[in-house]
Structure 1
Amino acid sequence: MARESAPSIIFIDEIDSLSGQRGEGNESEASRCIKNEIFVQMQGVGTNNDKVLVLAATNTPYSLDQAIRRRFDKRIYISLPDLKARQHMFKVHLGDTHNNLTESDFESLARQSEGFSGSDISVCVKDVLLEPVRKTRDAMHFFKTREGLWVPCGPEQPAATLITMQDLAAQGLAEKICLPPITRSDFNKILARQRPTVSKSDLELHERFTKEFGEEG
């Protein structure tokens, strides 16, 4: 028996920018024509033998024209990641980067990031990844490892040498400079100033839309 072919998938991000409410005061004729054409093309999807799955995403569901809402069989609300999901996201975004975080540290980070979206966590980790570079750039002390590498440290570190990254580079040792591992304190520093981008009113709006038109994801 021949295997059934998988459907083609079309993904439209921020669909509200293409299919906002028609008849708005600042809507141009060109914009209205584009929206109408989208609706016509969407109506034709699935009427032949070609299997096409159309996925779309929006953060402002109420701004969608009702005609585009009707053309999607399911309107699914994807809520913010829960604690376990946030814990996993921190691990995924950190990847193989040298760090000394424990499983307990990742659990604590997940609790600290209550209300964060996946995008917020991604931004947080990107900022944290720059911390070793900042430490190395600003360090006034380095210590030399058995392998001959120079690692930034504080003055209290045994065998710490009063020297800067620029001094090491001037001595031809730039390639021997090693970035320190990412620590829990690096994350604490970034999380202390970062705030979630999704507000309580945003969540209430999405939940209300889900009750009226959609379903839970």
Structure 2
Amino acid sequence: MYSNFKEQAIEYVRQAVQEDNAGNYAKAFPLYMNALEYFKTHLKYEKNPKIKEAITHKFTEYLRRAEEIRAVLDEGGTGPGPASNGDAAVASRSKTKPKDGEDGEDPEQSKLRAGLNSAIVREKPNVKWSDVAGLESAKQALQEAVILPVKFPQFFTGKRRPWRAFLLYGPPGTGKSYLAKAVATEAESTFFSVSSSDLVSKWMGESEKLVSNLFEMARESAPSIIFIDEIDSLCGQRGEGNESEASRRIKTELLVQMQGVGHNDDKVLVLAATNTPYALDQAIRRRFDKRIYIPLPDLKARQHMFKVHLGDTPHDLSESGFEDLAHKTEGFSGSDISVCVKDVLFEPVRKTQDAMFFIKTSNDTWMPCGPKQPGAVQTNIQELAANGLASKIIPPPITKTDFDKVLARQRPTVSKSDLDVHERFTQEFGEEG
């Protein structure tokens, strides 16, 4: 298996040398970095000391060449001098980098960027920190990473640097994506929301270019946040039997970009979410300096969620009623509670459809009622609608009985074994949210 890594490294070197010879240093640099990543992986598996030594020697030469190119690209000056080794390109000293606007943007790059434009969240999702129930340490860590560096850049001097990569993991429906929406709302940053489908292309070599362009766009729009949902679908364990070549290349490019070699990435935050943290490639996992467990909501959080999801819908629940609901939904995820409330919201509508008695309220509307209620009129919604009163019919307020009825038929969707897996991962690699 490990010979694949060496072959891939050699192919990247060939492409890098070709671009280097042509003076395309911006293209040569990431190719050299991809080659180095594959050589590094190959060295882990190589047992022959002589081959290991030869690869290490080549690795050092290519790294030196990549550093020369990086220094030039950072300065925006002319091309680097001749490469110091026989394999790398000998670049002509007379070659200079094309000036902005001379040749215009590469049409291929324009096409890739146009495809990624849809990933930029231009409308704020309108989810505030206060809407996110519980998860206080996760919110605090994200505020440190997202809001403080933008509002108070003077805090981050010397060795103090903002967090650069967050992994949110936990069972499905616990609010990982919801937390990302809160970040998008509260942050004064460009927010890129991408999924595997945005970054996987059927064309050979295009997927890693999409990843590279995504990070380039994020650097240009800094301060910015890249949110990758379900990152496990992009970055599963390397070397698995069902892993495709395209998948390997995407992972390598993502590793290179997250390492930020040759770039100032202090103002680019990578935020990712997964339900299956163990499925992540180890190297990718290490790139996330903060790994936060988003657990099932506790009692107070569940109580808050019921209130948030009900919003301003009329109801007759007291504080103790909400507390009772929270006790009854032990083991429910945030998503389960959302589904429960959605179902409950329809209970008054169902009552209104089935009602045989209505009462006229003080503000001239009709509401279903019991047959013995004073002022009750025997009728139904069809008759009221036929008399031109359709717009005057309103459903009754939500009651505790409505919730009891729905909860009697709903079960939590997260199993004990799911929780055990995430708690074990937290003990080994993560921290509590």
TM-score by length of 2: 0.47
Q: Which residue of 2 aligns with 1:8?
A: 224
| Contact 2:235–2:247, Cα closer than 8 Å, also in 1 | no
Question: 1:165, 1:39 → 2: CA distance?
Answer: 62
**Cα offset, 1:173, TM superposition:** 0.7
1:81 corresponds to which of 284, 288, 297: 297
Secondary structure at 1:53 match in 2:
strand
Q: Which amino acid aligns with 2:398?
A: I
Q: Does 1:20 align with 2:169?
A: no
In the TM superposition, what whole-angstrom CA distance separates every residue of 1:81-124 from its partner, at most 9, and x where no partner exists? 11011111111111111111100100000001101111111111
| Contact 2:316–2:397, Cα closer than 8 Å, also in 1 | yes
Q: Does the C-alpha gap of structure 1 residues 56 and 160 become closer, same or farther in structure 2, counting only changes over 3 Å?
A: same
Q: Which amino acid aligns with 1:179?
A: P
Q: Which amino acid aligns with 1:144?
A: K
Q: Which residue of 2 aligns with 1:160?
A: 376
Question: 1:191, 1:52 → 2: CA distance?
Answer: 43
| Contact 1:46–1:52, Cα closer than 8 Å, also in 2 | no
Q: Which residue of 1 aligns with 2:276?
A: 60
Q: Does 1:173 align with 2:389?
A: yes
The worse-fitting range, judged by mean Cα deviation, of 51-60 and 164-173 is 51-60
Unpaired segments of 5 or more residues in structure 2? 1-150, 155-187, 189-222
**Cα offset, 1:78, TM superposition:** 1.8
Secondary structure at 2:362 match in 1:
coil
Q: Which residue of 2 aligns with 1:213?
A: 429
1:69 corresponds to which of 273, 282, 285: 285
Q: Does the C-alpha gap of structure 1 residues 20 and 95 become closer, same or farther in structure 2, counting only changes over 3 Å?
A: same
Q: How does 1:104-143 map to 2 (within 5 A)?
A: 104-143=320-359
| Contact 1:16–1:58, Cα closer than 8 Å, also in 2 | yes
Question: 1:68, 1:25 → 2: CA distance?
Answer: 19
Q: Which has the higher helix share?
A: 2
**Cα offset, 1:147, TM superposition:** 2.6
Secondary structure at 1:123 match in 2:
helix
**Cα offset, 1:137, TM superposition:** 1.5
Q: Which amino acid aligns with 1:166?
A: Q
Question: 2:266, 2:289 → 1: CA distance?
Answer: 17
Question: 2:372, 2:284 → 1: CA distance?
Answer: 64
| Contact 1:142–1:164, Cα closer than 8 Å, also in 2 | yes
Q: Does the C-alpha gap of structure 1 residues 3 and 79 become closer, same or farther in structure 2, counting only changes over 3 Å?
A: closer
Q: Which amino acid aligns with 1:121?
A: I
2:411 corresponds to which of 192, 195, 199: 195
Secondary structure at 1:130 match in 2:
helix
| Contact 1:45–1:52, Cα closer than 8 Å, also in 2 | no
Question: 1:46, 1:85 → 2: CA distance?
Answer: 43
Q: Which residue of 2 aligns with 1:94?
A: 310
Question: 2:240, 2:370 → 1: CA distance?
Answer: 61
Q: Does the C-alpha gap of structure 1 residues 208 and 49 become closer, same or farther in structure 2, counting only changes over 3 Å?
A: closer
Question: 2:398, 2:247 → 1: CA distance?
Answer: 48
Question: 1:52, 1:187 → 2: CA distance?
Answer: 44
In the TM superposition, what whole-angstrom CA distance separates every residue of 1:179-212 from its partner, at most 9, and x where no partner exists? 1101111111111111111111111100111111
Structure of larger gyration radius:
2
Q: Does 1:42 align with 2:191?
A: no
Q: Does the C-alpha gap of structure 1 residues 45 and 12 become closer, same or farther in structure 2, counting only changes over 3 Å?
A: farther
Which aligned segments of 4 or more residues in structure 1 are displaced greater than 3 angstroms?
none
Q: Does the C-alpha gap of structure 1 residues 63 and 203 become closer, same or farther in structure 2, counting only changes over 3 Å?
A: same
Q: Which residue of 2 aligns with 1:144?
A: 360
Seq. identity, % = 76
Q: Which amino acid aligns with 1:20?
A: G
Relative contact order, higher structure (CA 8 A, sep 6+)? 1
Unpaired segments of 5 or more residues in structure 1? none
**Cα offset, 1:172, TM superposition:** 0.6
The worse-fitting range, judged by mean Cα deviation, of 129-138 and 101-110 is 129-138
Q: Which amino acid aligns with 1:78?
A: I
Question: 1:96, 1:159 → 2: CA distance?
Answer: 28
Q: Which amino acid aligns with 1:171?
A: N
Question: 1:3, 1:180 → 2: CA distance?
Answer: 50
